[in-house]
Amino acid sequence: MKKIFIIALAAVLILTAVACKAEKALESEGQAPADGQPAAGVGMTGGWTPAEDFSVTEERQAIFDKGMAALLGVDYEALGYLGSQVVAGKNHVFLVKGTAVTPTLPVSYGLAYLYEDLQGGVKILTVANLPIVPNEDGTLAAVPEEGPMGAWYYAEDPALTDEDEAKLEKALQSQVGASYTIVAYLGEQVVSGLNRCLLCQVKPVVPNAQPHYALAYVYTDLQGGAELSRIIDLDIGALCEYGA
């Protein structure tokens, strides 16, 4: 009798382990739970699709306002619509400028991720500061809160003067094989001249090519010349945290 009980107990343990393994496999495949919300840390049924039109239309602004309404302490302005991801509903990503209610704090730029459910409800997933400090290996680091002389800092105004925009666009034209459209001016670094960081939409000059987004770094010298120094592609979904 004791032997039969041990065998039965072992069978139950095996079945439980198999069930747990199957449940984890479903989570790793990115299936959403039954309530239609993205699973924490997963939620993917498709990759992020960069937007061909990054303008913040009335419809997009309405989604943004609905999702960001509950946030306190920082006022966020939608500067551009960068893309979407199909889940059980849709995820959206916006480029935002953050202005703290406390006037002594500097402005910031980031990516705001919102989830729109199948019934039209919108909730915020996360807002993450956009790292713009270029490392030698092509990775990006965060902007320091109080950097030393010569550190990168976020731009007070994401808009450029007509003169600066023309100068920087001319520098971007040195890249062959793609066209670059400036979305926003994100930051700068004072050197012997000025290093500038621009978020750009990149459209390869080939048929049916999909656009993507990148950070373009342009050096402007003391004589007013401008030269493109490097480009780092931006993964628009990399900073998203589901269930935030």
- 205 contact partners, CB below 8 Å, separation of at least 6: 177, 178, 179
> Is residue 88 in some structural domain?
no
Calculated CA dihedral for residues 100, 56, 126, 42, nearest 10 degrees:
-170
Task: Tell me whether residue 56 is in a domain.
Answer: no
Q: Is residue 14 part of a domain?
A: no
Residue 211 neighbours by CB under 8 Å, 6+ apart: 50, 51, 52, 201, 202, 203, 204
How many domains does the chain fold into? Answer: 1
Given this model, what pLDDT does residue 182 score? Answer: 97
**Is residue 151 a part of any domain in this protein?**
yes
Please give the pLDDT value at position 33: 30
What does the pLDDT read at residue 67?
A: 95
- Please tell me the predicted confidence (pLDDT) of residue 101: 86
Answer yes or no: is 20 within a domain. Answer: no
Residue 207 within any structural domain of the chain = yes
| pLDDT for residue 71 | 87
**What domain range includes position 202?**
133-234
**H/E segment holding residue 83:** strand 74-87
Q: Which residues of the chain have pLDDT under 50?
A: 1-45, 243-244
Separation between Cα atoms, residue 114 and residue 56, nearest integer Å: 14
Contact 114, 128 (CB under 8 A): no
CATH number at residue 198: 3.10.450
Residue 160 counted as domain residue:
yes
**Alpha helices for the chain (secondary structure H):** 2-28, 58-68, 162-172
Residue 27 lies in a domain: no
Q: Give the burial class of 140: count Cβ atoms within 10 A of its Cβ; 0-12 exposed, 13-18 middle, 19 or more buried.
A: middle
Please tell me the predicted confidence (pLDDT) of residue 170: 93
Distance CA 169, CA 163 (A): 10
Give the pLDDT score at 72. Answer: 85
Quote the pLDDT of residue 148: 79
**CA 239 to the chain's CA centroid:** 5
> Cα–Cα distance between 244 and 241 in angstroms, integer?
6
List the structure tokens of 191. Answer: 């050197």
Q: How far apart are CA 232 and CA 244, in angstroms?
A: 27
